[in-house]
C-alpha cells in the first residue's frame, strides 16, 4: 500500500488528473498553471462553494471514497441548479493526511468523474489544490451560466404561487437514520434493497440537476436546494421573499407511505424525515399558479407540495399550523456530536 507521502505532490496530482475530466465546452485553460480560465458566455459567472470535512460532514467507516467524490460534486452542482443555471466547471481543493493511501484518493477522483459523467457530462474540473491536513477536507467551488437569463433567487415568491419540489424528500435522512442505527457496522445483517437505496441517497445523492434550468424556463419565481432540511430551507425562502409557505402533506401522502414502507417505519416518522431532512438536495421552487389565465402545469419532475400565502406570523406552516425552522446548524450539531447534514 502506497501513501501519498511516499509519492509526493507531483506524482499524486498526475494520478488524480488522469482520472478527472477537464471539461470540453467551457474550459479555456485547464489544470497546470497558476489559474484556470473558464468561458462565461453571457458575461457572468454563477459561483458557489461548499466544503465536506471528515467528521462533521462524513465518516470514512460509512462512505466509500467513490461515494465521497460523488457527493462532493453533486451537492455543489445542486447549488448552481438552484439558481436556474447550468454548470460550466469546478475547482477542487483536496487536503488529506500524508499517510492516506494513493488508491483512496484515486477512487475519490473516480467518484467525482463518475458523478460528472452522470450529471454534467460536458464539464470538468479545471483546477485545484493539494494539501495535507489532519483529516480529509474536500473543498469544491462550482461555476455555472444562466445563458443570458435572470437568476432564480430565493426572494421572488409571491402570495398565490404554487410551492413545488423536484427530487426526493426525506430519503437521505432516513438513510442517515439507518447508518446511525448501525446498518453499516461490521457484522450487521444484510439490508433489504429498499434500505440500501435510502443509504445511497444519503451517501451519494443524485438530485435532479437539470430541473434547475427547467424551473427557470417554466417561470419559477424563487428556488433553493434543500440542503439543511425542508422546513429550515422553506423558512429561508419564505423570509427572503417576505411570504409564508404553507405545506400540505396530503398532497404527497403517497410518497410518505412509500418512504415508510422502504424504511420500515410509521407514516408519522416518514413525514418527519421528509420535513426535517435535507441532504437529498431536492429543488424547492415556487411557480405562479396561473399562466395566461390557465392553471400552471408544473414541469417534470416538479410536483406541488404547498401554496404561497401572504406573510403571516409563521414563515412556514404545515396545514396552517406554525412549523419550527428545524434542520441542520453545523455549530449546534457539533456541540451535540451529530454527524452529517
CA atoms of 50 and 327, how far apart (whole Å): 18
Q: Which stretch binds a second copy (CB under 8 A): 8-16, 258-266, 267-275, 292-300?
A: 8-16
326 binds a second copy (CB under 8 A): no
The answer to the question of residue 280 lying near a second copy (CB under 8 A) is no
Instruction: Select from 1, 18, 43, 254 the one that contacts a second copy (CB under 8 A).
Output: 43
Number of other CB atoms surrounding residue 9 within 10 Å: 12
Q: Which is nearer to a second copy, 9 or 25 (CB)?
A: 9
Output 267-270 pairs: Cβ under 8 A, ≥24 positions apart.
Answer: 270/170, 270/174
Separation of alpha carbons 154 and 221, rounded Å: 8
Q: Which of residues 157-196 bind a second copy (CB under 8 A)?
A: none
Exactly one of 65, 69, 111, 128 binds a second copy (CB under 8 A); that residue is 128
Return the residue of 126, 220, 285, 305 that touches a second copy, per CB under 8 A: 126
* 46/270 with CB nearer a second copy: 46
x/- letters, 234..273, toward a second copy (CB under 8 A): ------x---------------------------------
Q: 88 with 22: CB under 8 angstroms?
A: no
Distance CA 5, CA 193 (A): 39
Which residue stretches of 82-229 are H helix?
102-119, 171-180, 193-203, 211-217
Among residue numbers 100 through 119, which ones bind a second copy (CB under 8 A)?
Answer: none
In whole angstroms, give the CA distance from residue 119 to residue 48.
17
Among 59, 106, 110, 130, binds a second copy (CB under 8 A): 130
DSSP-assigned beta bridge partners for residue 306: 163, 247
Q: Which of 2, 98, 217, 257 binds a second copy (CB under 8 A)?
A: 98
Report the residue from 20, 74, 83, 204 that binds a second copy according to the rule CB under 8 A: 83
3 state SS of 110: helix
Residue 49, marked binder? yes
280 is an annotated ligand-binding site residue:
no
Q: Which of 16, 82, 238, 316 binds a second copy (CB under 8 A)?
A: 82
Rounded CA separation 201/198 (Å): 5
Site for a second copy in 207-226 (CB under 8 A): 223-225
Beta strand pairing call for 321-322 and 243-247 = unpaired
**Would you count residue 2 as binding a second copy (CB under 8 A)?**
no
DSSP secondary structure code for residue 149 in this structure: S
Question: Which residues from 9-38 bind a second copy, rule CB under 8 A?
Answer: 9-10, 12, 28-29, 32-38
Q: Is 279 annotated as a binding residue?
A: yes
How big is the chain, counted in residues?
A: 341
The dihedrals phi and psi of 243, each to the nearest 5 degrees, come to -135, 180
Residue 134 makes contact with a second copy by CB under 8 A? yes
What DSSP string runs through 239-260?
Answer: HHHTEEEEE-GGGGHHHHHHHH
31 or 178: CB nearest a second copy:
31
324 binds a second copy (CB under 8 A): no
Is 94 in contact with 129 (CB distance < 8 Å)?
Answer: yes
Distance (Å, whole) CA 76 – CA 120: 12
Residue pair 276/268 in contact (Cβ under 8 Å)? The answer is: no
- Least gap, CB of 78 to a second copy (angstroms): 8
Among 141, 158, 304, 311, binds a second copy (CB under 8 A): 141
Annotated binding site: 34, 48-50, 57, 79, 128-129, 154, 225, 227-228, 279, 328
Annotated binding site for ATP: 128-129, 154, 227
Annotated binding site for substrate: 57, 279, 328
Annotated binding site for Mg(2+): 34, 48-50, 79, 129, 225, 228
Amino acid at each position: 500500500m502506497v501513501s501519498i507521502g511516499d509519492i509526493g505532490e507531483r506524482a499524486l496530482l498526475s494520478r488524480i488528473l488522469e482520472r478527472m475530466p477537464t471539461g470540453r465546452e467551457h474550459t479555456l485553460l485547464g489544470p497546470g498553471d497558476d489559474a484556470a480560465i473558464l468561458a462565461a458566455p453571457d458575461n457572468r459567472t454563477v459561483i458557489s462553494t461548499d466544503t465536506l470535512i471528515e467528521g462533521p460532514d462524513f465518516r470514512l467507516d460509512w462512505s466509500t471514497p467513490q461515494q465521497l467524490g460523488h457527493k462532493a460534486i453533486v451537492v455543489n452542482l445542486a447549488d448552481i441548479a438552484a439558481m436556474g443555471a447550468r454548470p460550466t466547471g469546478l475547482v477542487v481543493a483536496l487536503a488529506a493526511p500524508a499517510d492516506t493511501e494513493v488508491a483512496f484518493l484515486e477512487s475519490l477522483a473516480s467518484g467525482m468523474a463518475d458523478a460528472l459523467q452522470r450529471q454534467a457530462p460536458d464539464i470538468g474540473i479545471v483546477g485545484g489544490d493539494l494539501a495535507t491536513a489532519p483529516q480529509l477536507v474536500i473543498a469544491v467551488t462550482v461555476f455555472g451560466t444562466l445563458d443570458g437569463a435572470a437568476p432564480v433567487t430565493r426572494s421572488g415568491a409571491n402570495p398565490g404561487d404554487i410551492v413545488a419540489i423536484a427530487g426526493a424528500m426525506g430519503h437521505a435522512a432516513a438513510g442517515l437514520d439507518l447508518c446511525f442505527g448501525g446498518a453499516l457496522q461490521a457484522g450487521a445483517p444484510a439490508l433489504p434493497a429498499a434500505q440500501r437505496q435510502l443509504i445511497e441517497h444519503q451517501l451519494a445523492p443524485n438530485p435532479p440537476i437539470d430541473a434547475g434550468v427547467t424551473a427557470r424556463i417554466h417561470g419559477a419565481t424563487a428556488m433553493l436546494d434543500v440542503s439543511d432540511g425542508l422546513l429550515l430551507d422553506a423558512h429561508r425562502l419564505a423570509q427572503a421573499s417576505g411570504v409564508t409557505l404553507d405545506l400540505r402533506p396530503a398532497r404527497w401522502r403517497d410518497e410518505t407511505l412509500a418512504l415508510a414502507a422502504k424504511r420500515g417505519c410509521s407514516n408519522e416518522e416518514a413525514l418527519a424525515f421528509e420535513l426535517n431532512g435535507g441532504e437529498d438536495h431536492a429543488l424547492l421552487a415556487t411557480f405562479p399558479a396561473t399562466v395566461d389565465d390557465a392553471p400552471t402545469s408544473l414541469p417534470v419532475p416538479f410536483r406541488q407540495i404547498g401554496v404561497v400565502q401572504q406573510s403571516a406570523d409563521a414563515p412556514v406552516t404545515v396545514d396552517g399550523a406554525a412549523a419550527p425552522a428545524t434542520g441542520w446548524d453545523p455549530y449546534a450539531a457539533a456541540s451535540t456530536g451529530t454527524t452529517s447534514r
